[in-house]
Amino acid sequence: MWCDNCLLLFPLRAGAMILGAIMALFQIGGGIFLFLYGGFYFTLHRFHEAEIYGGYSMAQGAVALIGIIALSSRSYVLSRIVVVIYPIILLLGAIRAGIMVWSFNHYSWRLIWSCNNDGVKWTDEYDNEIYQSLSDKSSFVKLPERLCRYSVENICQALSILLVIDFILMCYFYFLMWRFRVKLDHYPVQNNESVHPKIP
């Protein structure tokens, strides 16, 4: 028998919209942080590591916004697009999380170096071959002092926990979007074919 409320913690449509809004804010905020300061934490600048992670976070936020629009307008087409795209997002998210944790642990000494040298980015100092004395670094973008107050181990643990929570929320949001699309199949709410196309 079909269960309309299985695994739903809140009303389907309203709960999914709230979760989508939280995810969009979290992902877009994380993307902005990675664009601004990701280079201090992920230092493979030749591969644009931080920019890739930041761009992926922005893409996650964009998909969450599309999901909110689909839920608010009860759009069958948009909800189906989200359901089709999200497995790819989930797979890339799992890969990204593993690489981020490994990279941060492997190159954590560079963050320690930055904190010990007035917040100057390690790649600016050495990889770009523009070495300057420690007394002349006014032109460099610096890591804010407040981000150096916690140990690298604590930051890595917090990063790992946030990535796990992020992945769990993505999985649950995907389930809600899939559940909403199936509900539209079972209970058409509008006759407009752009919202719920007629099934021959």
SS (H, E, C) 125-180: HHHCCCCCCCCCCCCCCECCHHHHCCCHHHHHHHHHHHHHHHHHHHHHHHHHHHHH
Dist. CA 86–CA 105, nearest whole Å: 28
Q: Which of 59-68, 73-82, 105-114, 142-151 comes out lowest in average pLDDT?
A: 142-151
Span 74-97, pLDDT tens digits: 888 888 999 999 999 999 989 988
Span 19-52, pLDDT tens digits: 899 999 999 999 998 888 888 778 776 678 888 9
Q: Which residue ranges make up each domain of the chain?
A: 12-186
Count Cα atoms within 13 angstroms, Cβ side, for 115. 14
pTM above 0.85, yes or no: no
**Residue corresponding to tokens 């999200």:** 86
Is the model more confident about 186 or about 14?
14
Dist. CA 34–CA 55, nearest whole Å: 9
